[in-house]
């Protein structure tokens, strides 16, 4: 039965949302611009008429809300509002880019083109998501607004993800955490980055999200009282010093809290910096630095700072333009508290990123963001790079901490942390990187793989005889260095392949073999090479014995090879076959010729939430949705993901691992082993314990039937005196 909708009420809601958008945009546009926004709204309303989202809402709600995010949360103006309203019309309706160009002009048409997704053609050699992401980044060289509107689009999709089925939620959320949140971070959009991370966690780890959210709500009143008491003497001092300011307590995002819990292996209660105090002062641009340090001295008049926790991003801003002074001080209650000090301009840039940066660009200083976009353009100039490789390289430059390195002349360069001498060489110039044989770091000779530290002064040593080597890829960390090395290796491969081609043609001539299409295909299969370039390269390197061709017989000029074994199914066939069999893999049932294996990277057991990943040679690998590799697989290869669930098992045992930590005590190991041996149908495979300074850590591998079986055991182990925490091991 077709669902009935109250269209009159929906029209009223559409009108209400549009008016809210107009009100928000008035401060950023002239009256003539309002007419253009209206024209874009009318076109979008007409184009999406009758179309609904998965939730059942009229589709037009989505572009209006994306435009609202563009204005309110990013701070963009008329052109971006128009593009946000029209961002889906070319892809989803009969409206063409020419129509948009004719009405709104070339700039709007170009941005819309960048926002229009690639046609969903199945491509078995690369990831649809990766290609789409690369296409989006190509527009950076034209207009960064494409990325900003795309982020607004993704944020609204994440906010309305509730109507999607579970497996789709996880795929979209994984892609968001893998690519879009780091991208928002790099563009300086702190607020949007935090929202995307929290929403990503909500749909990938709902139990974790709800647990932390509940604990934050319970402790809110206590936090508010603490902030008021802590800031009172600071406010009095700032008032007496004649500083205009705003002081507020900022709670860490749920994702950040979870991240800290994961990294340090601690419960929520032990995360000391759940919130930070932010002091935002009003200051003239030429007085900003002095005013921030003045406020810092007032804070430290009352509270003792931790010298190891001072972060000065005013003297050396982050690569995304972030400027702030961070210190951690001891409160009267014995808790460390983070205090952030910044000006109104710095706060605007921290929250609104790119858009706010351009508002203040009159200062004449070159933006760190401009420098970052220049680097991305350089990466995009390499046409040979595979889409997934590109995304992996690009990610290296997205979410890493920065270090600051000096050239011999004192010029400052920003690099991701853990960068090496060779990364720095490629940062200076491709030719310097290619010819690099070492460096002097702080006047001391070091190797290519030497890891640099912030403040190092680096002088690169080069040699004309040096060439790029494949093992360089094992220790460089910047996307720029990786892509340039790959390009140099490919160029060298082409040069060698030309030599190999000469040898190949000469040998064929001496063996009286024609280079027909049939023979060429047969020879490639015979030597198990992907293409002629690979074959020629292997010949030049001396890895191919062409004399074997002399022994083959010919019929009508065509070489006679042994009949090949039945070719393995292509990835496309595998995916089609699996999807044709069932929407859902039921693990434990007879799946005929579809075989699956439990992935060793996360050791799934019955009861775990799992998914299947279609591989080329190993059938379907089953992973837990919380697997360390899950986010990357879902983000880069969503079309190879298959839903999966467990069926009842008949006393089959699965290997699982536990890490147990606690305070060493006599008889503790004995107590643990006794609990395990008393638990029915659990067998230990291995057990190891280590004790350092009274703290013990044990690793136990055991066979269990399902998650319920494992959870029962875990709960019994937790009540043993001295046991502090128990975690499931991710891998064997």
Torsion-angle region of 406 (φ positive above 0: left; ψ -120 to 50: alpha; else: beta):
beta
| 92, 389, 392, 730: the active-site residue | 92
427: annotated active-site residue: no
Integer Cα distance of 275 and 380 in angstroms: 39
DSSP-derived letter for residue 308 is G
Tokens for 83? 């593009």
DSSP 8-state code for residue 127: -
How far apart, in whole angstroms, are the C-alpha atoms of residue 468 and residue 223? 56
- Name the packing angle between helices 145-159 and 128-138 (round to 10°): 140
- First vs last Cα of the chain: how many Å apart? 51
Q: For residues 461 and 131, give the distance between their C-alpha atoms in angstroms, rounded to a whole number.
A: 38
Residue with tokens 């799992």: 610
Distances (CA, A) of 399 to 178, 179, 186, 193: 10, 9, 7, 11
| Active-site residue, selected from the candidate residues 33, 57, 91, 451 | 91
C-alpha to C-alpha distance for 636 and 394, rounded to whole angstroms? 13
User: What string of DSSP letters covers 423-473?
Assistant: HHHHHH-HHHHHTEEEEEETTEEE-TTPBP-TT-BEEEEE-TT----GGGG
Nearest to 624 by CA among 594, 657, 601: 601
Per the annotation, the verdict on 92 as an active-site residue is yes
Residue 525 and residue 521: Cα distance in Å, rounded? 6
Q: Which residue has the tokens 């360069």?
A: 413
Per the listing, tokens 């819309």 go with 112
Q: Which residues of 551-564 are buried (b: 16+ CB within 10 A; e: fewer)?
A: ebeeeeeebeeeee
Catalytic residues: 91-92
């Amino acid at each position: 039965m077709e669902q009935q909708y109250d269209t009159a009420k929906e029209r009223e809601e559409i009108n209400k949302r549009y008016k809210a958008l107009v009100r928000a945009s008035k401060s950023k546009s002239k009256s003539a611009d309002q007419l253009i926004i209206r024209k874009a709204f009318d076109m979008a309303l007409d184009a999406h008429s009758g179309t609904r989202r998965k939730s059942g809402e009229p589709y037009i709600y989505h572009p209006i809300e994306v435009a609202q995010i563009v204005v309110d949360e990013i701070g963009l103006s008329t052109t971006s509002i128009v593009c946000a309203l029209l961002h889906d019309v070319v892809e989803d309706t009969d409206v063409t880019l020419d129509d948009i160009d004719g009405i709104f002009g070339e700039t709007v048409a170009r941005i819309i083109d960048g926002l229009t997704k690639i046609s969903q053609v199945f491509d078995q050699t690369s990831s649809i998501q990766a290609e789409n992401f690369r296409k989006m980044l190509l527009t950076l060289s034209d207009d960064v607004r494409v990325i900003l509107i795309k982020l607004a689009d993704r944020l609204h999709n994440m906010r309305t993800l509730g109507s999607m089925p579970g497996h789709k939620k996880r795929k979209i959320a994984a892609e968001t955490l893998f690519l879009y949140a780091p991208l928002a971070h790099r563009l300086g959009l702190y607020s949007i980055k935090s929202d995307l991370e929290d929403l990503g966690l909500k749909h990938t780890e709902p139990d974790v999200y709800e647990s932390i959210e509940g604990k934050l709500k319970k402790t809110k009143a206590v936090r508010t009282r603490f902030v008021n008491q802590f800031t009172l003497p600071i406010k009095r001092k700032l008032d007496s010093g004649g500083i205009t300011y705003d002081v507020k307590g900022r709670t860490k995002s749920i994702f950040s809290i979870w991240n800290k819990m994961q990294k340090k292996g601690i419960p929520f209660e032990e995360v000391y910096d759940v919130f930070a105090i932010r002091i935002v002062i009003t200051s003239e641009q030429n007085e900003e630095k002095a005013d921030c340090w003045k406020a810092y001295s007032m804070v430290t008049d009352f509270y003792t700072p931790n010298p190891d926790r001072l972060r000065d991003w005013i003297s050396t801003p982050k690569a995304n333009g972030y400027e702030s002074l961070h210190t951690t001080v001891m409160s009267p209650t014995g808790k460390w508290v983070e205090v952030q000090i910044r000006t109104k301009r710095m706060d605007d840039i921290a929250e609104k990123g790119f858009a706010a940066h351009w508002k203040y660009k009159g200062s004449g200083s070159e933006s760190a963001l401009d420098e970052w976009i220049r680097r991305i353009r350089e990466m995009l100039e390499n046409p040979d790079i595979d889409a997934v490789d590109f995304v992996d390289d690009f990610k290296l430059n997205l979410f890493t901490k920065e270090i600051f390195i000096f050239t011999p002349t004192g010029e400052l360069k920003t690099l991701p942390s853990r960068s090496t001498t060779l990364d720095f060489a490629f940062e200076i110039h491709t030719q310097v990187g290619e010819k690099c044989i070492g460096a002097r770091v702080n006047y001391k000779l070091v190797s290519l793989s030497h890891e640099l530290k912030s403040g190092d002064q680096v002088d690169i040593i080069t040699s004309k005889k040096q060439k790029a080597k494949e093992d360089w890829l094992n220790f460089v960390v910047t996307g720029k260095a990786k892509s340039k090395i790959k390009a140099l290796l490919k160029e060298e491969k082409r040069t060698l392949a030309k030599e190999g081609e000469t040898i190949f043609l000469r040998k064929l001539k001496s063996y009286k073999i024609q280079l027909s299409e049939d023979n060429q295909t047969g020879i490639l299969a015979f030597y198990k090479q992907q293409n002629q370039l690979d074959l020629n390269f292997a010949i030049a390197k001396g890895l191919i014995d062409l004399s074997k061709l002399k022994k083959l017989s010919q019929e009508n000029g065509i070489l006679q090879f042994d009949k090949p074994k039945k070719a393995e199914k292509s990835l496309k066939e595998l995916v089609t076959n699996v999807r044709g069999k069932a929407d859902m893999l039921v693990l434990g049932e007879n799946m005929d010729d579809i075989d699956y294996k439990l992935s060793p990277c996360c050791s799934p057991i019955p009861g775990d939430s799992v998914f299947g990943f279609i591989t080329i040679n190993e059938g379907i690998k089953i992973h837990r949705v919380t697997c360390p590799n899950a986010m990357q697989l879902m983000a880069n290869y969503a079309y190879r993901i298959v839903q999966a669930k467990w069926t009842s098992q008949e006393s089959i045992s699965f290997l699982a691992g536990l890490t147990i930590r606690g305070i060493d005590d006599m008889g503790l190991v004995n107590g643990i082993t006794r609990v395990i041996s008393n638990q029915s149908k659990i067998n230990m495979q291995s057990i190891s314990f280590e004790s350092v300074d009274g703290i013990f850590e044990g690793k136990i591998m055991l066979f269990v039937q399902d998650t319920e079986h494992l959870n029962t055991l875990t709960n019994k182990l937790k009540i043993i005196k001295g046991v502090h925490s128990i975690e499931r091991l991710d891998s064997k």
